């Protein structure tokens, strides 16, 4: 808390806005965006690796949160105030930091798979500055952030080691993904049937609700991966490569559709299924299936667009030379 008080004295309106932007790089949308860009445009293998690191890290993070039940800094010290705009996004208990887990998981994994030194430098810098933003904003203590930082590194190392063995065969990947699905089911069982929410004060119940929502989200997303992986591997077999202009177009359209599904499915699914549980699970499952096995079907169209543009360029050059 002494460090958080020190950082609070350094706050300015400009730094507040800057770190509010930086901290979003550890949020859910950033994880989705980075994972799908890698998956669609650079490497399916590394896309699956990023998803695996993110899912496993999130499960363990949420399990530790609800098990240790560590309160947020403003609950530990009633006189302390976080940056107000950062508080609504600080869901669940404080320890360990979810944004730190996500950011180190995303950018730490990218740093281990890239061969370009400048990309690695950027990723390592973000792996440090995003966790720091959580302390500057006053939503996490050094213990929350420090533990998540090192735990995320362990998750990256273990997940990548097992993933490399599994990815060489479809059977290995199915066993790997199914094992992660079992972990997600166990976490859901823990949240719904083992953890006793009556041990929490009424003011802390929102932390339990946050863990419950995340448990259903993780399970739904993993089921989506398990369903769509064999479809992509054996039927679609899309090519990630492409010209820079079609890659930008592909990502722009795809991410807009993903955001549209995430937000557009919420109302109808909540109307017919239990809100924040089954509805949330189904929604994220559908989004994952779309990312892996539906939208990539359109990539052949982008390739034809490239060919048409290239033919037109050659024809124009030939006509000019003639």
SS3 label, residue 95: coil
> For residue 232, what pLDDT is reported?
93
Low-confidence ranges of the chain (pLDDT < 70): 317-322
**Per-residue pLDDT tens digits for 96-151:** 999 999 999 999 999 999 889 999 999 999 999 999 999 999 999 999 999 999 99
> For residue 256, what pLDDT is reported?
96
Measure the CA–CA gap between 222 and 38, rounded to whole angstroms. 18
SS3 label, residue 53: helix
Model-level pTM?
Answer: 0.90
Over the range 221-252, which residues count as b (16 or more CB within 10 Å of their CB) and which as e?
Answer: bbbbbbebbeebeeebebebebeeebbeebee
Measure the CA–CA gap between 70 and 94, rounded to whole angstroms. 6
- The residue extents of the domains of the chain are 2-321
> For residue 59, what pLDDT is reported?
92
SS3 of the chain: helix, strand, coil, percent, to 5: 80, 0, 20
Measure the CA–CA gap between 229 and 226, rounded to whole angstroms. 6
> For residue 235, what pLDDT is reported?
92
> For residue 50, what pLDDT is reported?
93
**Per-residue pLDDT tens digits for 189-228:** 999 999 988 888 887 888 888 889 999 999 999 999 999 9
Q: What does the block give as tokens for 278?
A: 């089954």
Measure the CA–CA gap between 192 and 215, rounded to whole angstroms. 9
- Which residues 6+ apart lie within 8 Å of 41 measured at CB? 240, 242, 247, 250, 251
Whether residue 180 contacts residue 288, with contact meaning beta carbons closer than 8 Å, is answered with no
């Amino acid at each position: 808390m002494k460090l958080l008080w020190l950082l609070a004295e350094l706050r300015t309106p400009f730094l507040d806005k800057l770190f509010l932007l930086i901290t979003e790089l550890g949020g859910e949308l950033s994880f989705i965006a980075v994972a799908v860009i890698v998956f669609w445009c650079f490497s399916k293998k590394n896309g699956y690796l990023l998803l695996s690191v993110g899912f496993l890290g999130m499960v363990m993070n949420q399990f530790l949160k609800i098990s240790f039940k560590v309160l947020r800094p403003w609950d530990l010290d009633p006189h302390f105030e976080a940056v107000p705009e950062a508080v609504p996004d600080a869901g669940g208990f404080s320890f360990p930091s979810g944004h730190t887990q996500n950011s180190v998981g995303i950018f730490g994994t990218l740093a281990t798979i890239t061969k370009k030194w400048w990309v690695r430098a950027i990723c390592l810098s973000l792996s440090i500055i995003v966790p720091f933003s959580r302390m500057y904003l006053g939503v996490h203590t050094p213990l929350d952030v420090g533990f998540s930082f090192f735990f995320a590194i362990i998750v990256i190392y273990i997940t990548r080691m097992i993933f490399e063995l599994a990815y060489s065969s479809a059977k290995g990947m199915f066993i790997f993904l199914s094992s992660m699905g079992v972990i997600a089911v166990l976490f859901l069982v823990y949240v719904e049937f083992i953890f006793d929410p009556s041990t929490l004060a009424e003011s802390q119940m929102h932390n339990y609700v946050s863990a419950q929502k995340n448990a259903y989200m993780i399970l739904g997303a993993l089921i989506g991966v398990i369903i769509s992986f064999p479809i992509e591997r054996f039927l679609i077999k899309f090519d990630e490569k492409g010209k820079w202009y079609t890659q930008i177009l592909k990502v722009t359209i795809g991410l807009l559709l993903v955001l549209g599904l995430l937000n557009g499915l919420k109302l109808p699914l909540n109307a017919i299924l239990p809100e924040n549980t089954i509805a949330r699970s189904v929604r994220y499952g559908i989004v994952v299936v779309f990312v892996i096995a539906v939208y990539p079907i359109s990539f052949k169209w982008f390739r034809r667009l490239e060919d048409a543009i290239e033919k037109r360029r050659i024809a124009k050059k030939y006509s000019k030379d003639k």
